[in-house]
Structure 1
């Protein structure tokens, strides 16, 4: 019998875990300090769950992991692979080189080698320039031994992907089994943002490989190597390890997304504002029909403008480990620094010397009392600091709204225990049971999704047939990924006429999701 599932979310400060039964009832949760590697913290969290519940390892059938490793790698400019970019666009795009608006330190971290070659399409699908096989093969030979991964980006490849696929074939024949990212699978409209997203995806291959292998090692060490392992992505659904290796960039932002999904599940609310407070940040997002609202704008990741899907999240430098200092006038300064996973050694409530938001909350007697002592800090100073933090939260909640309609605010995350059950400007604040592990529960209950995002020529006589075909394609993608066919439903449908393109060009997007089959 494999009735149970485990959800694990690795954050910058803590690794949270939860075990759920076949009815998705939360049996137990665990919170341990995040370790430098994936293996240590995940193993400790799983061992804690199994020992506290007495559930046998053989009764666990599913394990899901949400991770911030890819986000951290970009933000910290660490462990990024050397990328070779092949731009199929010459000579039309030579005026704007790749990485034109990237931060210098991030551009240096990916050590990009790039080449603009013939290729690409016009906006109406006509060929802009023919591919030259010898040209592309010559570039690949120059890159041999000098790049770890390749990104291929063609002008309007989201209308016709044939050239990108052909270039991929030639590069594989020259370089052997190397990771290749094709831009039409990553981004949408907007050539440079799509190119940026493709480069980032290629650069993250090693990081995701380490995450997957570390997760597998932790499962093996806890006698769970028989379970089906899945990775959370940033739209609140799950993907296999193989898909995660191919599209590591889709895990960026999955931490807040998992918390939003968990908040919806724990509170029973499908439409709400969620405030997820961790050790370093407070992430504020919006739930719509039980799923995180996606950003409608180009998303900035580590200083790079991209156009692939991301949850609409406002992140504030406010968390349990946020460092509190004074300015020259004695007024409190909130962060942005955080002690992170060193909270239990550096915060004053644990005998350390750094004043944190946890210490401020303890002095004021607000929220959950943790630690073993009360810091000797003036209450008036603490009150001013705490009021400043509450104003930031209230402002963030107001910014995420799209209208004045009343919506409940759901508080989740371990750091939310430091805050009162009221936020200015809100009518209702909900702090559900197991709120501290909402992120782990969110990834554990994740559905399996399928998506189609394509530009097509839409004629009235075949409109319904075209829509049905694309809808079915998205549904089949979800089923192939492991969704129960009986539960797959359409979550989002977009039908956007592109008036600046000829031939009744229309962007069609279908997003579907279904419950995971435990024995898929």
Structure 2
């Protein structure tokens, strides 16, 4: 008689305990949801030993034969811990091979790694011909001989862990470049481990590269660990296949996990969330997800992790990048809010005041908690003293005053309520599922919660989530929609994602789309969208029956040597080695920039960090992502170059100022990183139109985003400084919205270049609006990212038409942000104190984002905010506490006006009466996140807490011509007059 393989074993390895459950997935209709047994054991230094104990314990508690086990699913934090702790015995040197052509070289690999990880991992970096445009045209063809030469260099350095990263490689479905390079590398270095970035991350070159490097460095350690898991299963008599859970709540087979361990780095929280939904009966196959918002609170010994569940039953995902051990990386992870409340949280009573957390005794609870014979009052002791649980010795807590118990309960309740409300996208009451071993600390009903569920087996929801995890497939592409039906294109992408899930082992009958984003590219004349689709389905029976546990002969031995030589490295670990932020290493109350006797400001890495943050705020939602220019500036400084800024008043009036502006789509900018030659080529072309011109300095055309730092980098080539100022005072979406053109200065000749030596020059044009259209069309052909150079201005003209002092202003705003972080004071208050013309108009969270592409090719739309609850407000928010209305901010690449509307009122109804408009363009409006960095319109997403900060525009924009050119009428708001902010313009000190 054939034994049916109907059971799964789910395992989750946590920092304190390792949990295992055995579940019959075909019995989910039963009261126990098919769970036959659950077992918890302390996590051991050798995680394989703990996993074996947990599985053995679960098997011993139920009458389940080994031959009936269909699969083992394991979730572990073992690999991410090696990165976070900079474990030199687990991390290896990596050779990076960039397929980039001329691009990205001003942003070297490893530059934004913590110093200790850079020392451990940075083995070699190659820059290869190649790369793709956004539409998969080749930037350059591959050079096979060049690749083979680089392989010989890598072999000579005794490196055989190689990461390959190509520009726009996630769009390369045909394997045009990364795959070809990998095949050549394997010919030259047969024993090399080679990882292609297209298998690791989505669009975003630096973040995908970083994730690929981490994956490559940890590869051999992961392989050895996963082989240990297989051997442990073999010793237990299990012959079923092994799967590991991924960060997004799905599973991959063990062989894939050996190649892509980074996909499993943070699967623990996701396992808890999906397990909670299953235990609560919200599995979507039965359509039981409630219509109300569903929030999961996983309460452990030290913290509570809170996450929102999507209608699919999967956790809501975090933004475009995440921080792993101080490394900015890209891969899917759940959006989780962690707060300091758990079973071991300290409860302190001083001066008749009761304080709960965030400190905790953590895993020492059984030794230090009062009910266990210790001397520390914890949240668990409060629960027992309140009569809500029978744990330990109740006599040990009978002396605690009732007032202390009551005050602690109120504080614990507020902590949970605030965390839950942060994750909600609306004011509607939520269904909350409480799981985790520390879930007993929730003793009271919670405001804003319509139903509170603590399901059976709640203390092992993480292992349940691993056991019931699905198989997924995802696609991230840019599609040109000209002459195509958008719905058909989107459906085609969805079908491709579904097929990838089936290919990975999902049952075709159960696969469905669980996430779909369709976002138009900004600043693009043609119709082009970035489409991200993710599909998931149940593990197919075929996958379970065919893919038995694979243990090769080499699995019996640890793989820890490089061609027979042990790579031993003694690394001292100084806490400063884990810090990436330059300003975190200095006392900002004592810091001042370097200004020499001649008035030249020599910019440091700290100054660059301030400038990048300040420029993001002055960008008003536009300006493009500034991170790569900031990192390019740091790279220049590390190479011994010096970046200089001067006051324009120190320059001869008859000499000339030249400058450039980034021109193109932000999505392209984050992938095809600048070569650094774009502005130089465009400037050289323009200089040919002005023989004999003497350049005194470079200038930012706009101060916003990446443009505020670029003139310093371009100035290095010409040996000139950058001036303190720009020609816009903010960011605007169109070329003609510059202050020189308010005074009828010539707009041609005007050039743009793509970094490949392609230069487009418009010598003459009938009007400036036509000039904009011509350059946008040309920009499409050269890849949707270039640097544009406008006609030179004399120093005298610059003094008359420039917005001077804005570079200093950006520095002061950035300094205010980082100083507030160091001193734990209000960031928003610090920002408006740095620019006294500013006001915080609103603090709330994003509850709706709408985007579309206008006929002119601009990304338009609006973002809606709702007010924070009283408990969500922080220091500095009190002036806004009475505001109950919501705020709507329309945008056209940049934010155009800020309007207060009644809750629930549709802001798009054509016949509605306008609410209270607080300010409009040309005044500056910026959405600033809690970290002090502003959100571009491309970064807007649901649930993010932001403050709306506004500043008075430069007086040039307050002239009649300035208001006509840059006010509401320019953006087709015929019914809206310019509404000034109402505070005096702040003249930055130069």
TM-score (normalised: structure 2): 0.49
Asked if the contact 1:63/1:444 (under 8 Å) is kept, the reply is yes
Structure 1 residues 82-481: aligned runs within 5 Å: 82-144=93-155, 146-147=158-159, 149-160=161-172, 162-224=176-238, 226-269=239-282, 270=289, 271-289=293-311, 290-322=313-345, 332=355, 334-336=357-359, 338-340=361-363, 342-345=364-367, 347-351=369-373, 356-367=378-389, 369-370=391-392, 374=396, 379=401, 387-461=410-484, 466-481=489-504
Take 2:352 and 2:207, find their aligned partners in 1: how far apart are those partners? 44
Gaps of 5+ in 2: 29-33, 283-288, 544-990
Deviations 1:131-180 (A, max 9, x none): 33333323333333643522112222233452222221222222223322
Change (3 A) 1:54 1:158: closer
Q: Tell me the residue number matched to 2:816.
A: none
Q: Deviations over 1:211-237 (max 9, x none)?
A: 42232122222211x112211112221
Asked if the contact 1:81/1:148 (under 8 Å) is kept, the reply is no
The Cα shift of 1:254 comes to 1.3
Which range is displaced more, 139-148 or 406-415? 139-148
For residues 246-268 of structure 1, the C-alpha deviation after alignment (integer angstroms, 9 at most, x for no partner) is 22111122111111111111112
Please tell me whether the aligned partners of residues 86 and 151 of structure 1 are also in contact (alpha carbons under 8 angstroms).
yes
Q: Is the 8 A contact 2:306 2:338 kept in 1?
A: yes
Task: Verify the 8 A CA contact 2:105 2:127 in the aligned structure 1.
Answer: yes
Quote the residue 2:42 is aligned against: 33
Q: After superposition, what is the alpha-carbon deviation per residue over 1:59-95, rounded to whole angstroms, capped at 9, x for unaligned?
A: 2222111112223223222222322212222532222
Match of 2:99, SS? strand
d(CA) in 1 for partners of 2:161 and 2:129? 21
SS in 1 for 2:49: helix
1:402-425 deviation digits (Å, cap 9, x = unpaired): 111221111001111232143344
Q: In structure 1, what is the equivalent of residue 58 of structure 2?
A: 49
The equivalent position to 1:7 in structure 2, one of 7, 10, 15, is 10
Distance 2:383 2:122 in 1: 45
Distance 1:266 1:370, change over 3 A: farther
Change (3 A) 1:223 1:89: same
- The answer to whether the 8 A contact 1:151-1:180 is kept is yes
Residue 349 of structure 1 deviates from its aligned partner by: 4.0
By how many angstroms is 1:9 displaced?
0.9
Aligned length: 518
Q: Deviations over 1:322-369 (max 9, x none)?
A: 4667899997572456543x5444555444566654345445544452
Structure 1 stretch 438-447 or stretch 377-386: which is displaced more?
377-386
Partner of 2:771: none
For the residue of structure 2 that corresponds to 1:138, the secondary structure is helix
The whole-number CA distance in structure 1 between the counterparts of 2:427 and 2:355 is 32
Could you say what secondary structure the match of 1:393 adopts?
Answer: helix
d(CA) in 2 for partners of 1:113, 1:383: 60
Q: 1:208 to 1:137 in 2, by over 3 A?
A: same
Structure 1 segment 56-67 matched on structure 2, within 5 A: 56-67=65-76
Alpha carbons 2:131, 2:177 under 8 Å: kept: yes
Of structures 1 and 2, the larger Rg is shown by 2
SS in structure 2 at match of 1:255: helix
Q: Distance in 2 between matches of 1:393 and 1:106?
A: 36
What is the CA–CA distance in structure 2 between the aligned matches of 1:74 and 1:268, rounded to whole Å? 36
What is the alpha-carbon distance in structure 1 between the residues aligned to residue 340 and residue 241 of structure 2? Answer: 36
| CA 1:67–1:138: 2 relative to 1, 3 Å | same
Instruction: Look up the match of 2:540.
Output: 517
CA distance in 2, matches of 1:408, 1:423: 10
Q: Give the stretch that moved more between structures: 379-388 or 254-263.
A: 379-388
Name the CA distance, whole Å, in 2 between partners of 1:77 and 1:328: 42
> Structure 1's 319 and 176: CA in aligned 2 closer, same or farther, altered over 3 A?
farther
- Match of 2:77? 68
Q: Tell me the CA shift for residue 461 of structure 1.
A: 3.9
Task: Pick the aligned partner of 2:27 from 15, 23, 30.
Answer: 23
Deviating more after overlay: 282-291 vs 207-216 = 207-216
Distance 1:28 1:474 in 2: 35
Structure with higher RCO (Cα < 8 A, 6+ apart): 1
> Is the Cα contact below 8 Å between 2:389 and 2:440 reproduced in 1?
yes
Question: How far apart are 1:500 and its partner, in Å?
Answer: 3.8
Structural RMSD (CA): 2.9
**3-state SS of the aligned residue for 1:169?**
helix
Contact 2:409 2:443 in 1 (8 A): no
Whether the aligned pair in 2 keeps the contact of 1:324 and 1:335 (CA below 8 Å) is no
List per-residue Cα deviations over 1:83-131 (Å, max 9, x = no partner).
2212222532222222333322333343453233333234444433443
Shift in alpha-carbon separation, 1:317–1:37, aligned structure 2, 3 A: farther
Shift of 1:284: 0.6
**CA–CA separation in structure 2 for the residues paired with 1:361 and 1:147:** 55
Contact 2:349 2:404 in 1 (8 A): no
Distance in 2 between the 1:163 and 1:425 partners? 52
**Partner Cα distance (1:82, 1:384) in 2:** 53
Q: Which runs of 5+ in 1 are unaligned?
A: none
> Deviation digits for residues 296-345 of structure 1, max 9, x if unmatched?
342222222223221111122433344667899997572456543x5444
Distance 2:134 2:374 in 1: 61
Distance 1:319 1:495 in 2: 39
d(CA) in 1 for partners of 2:84 and 2:350? 27
Note if contact 1:327-1:333 (Cα within 8 Å) is conserved in structure 2.
no
Alpha-carbon distance in 2 for matches of 1:229, 1:85: 31
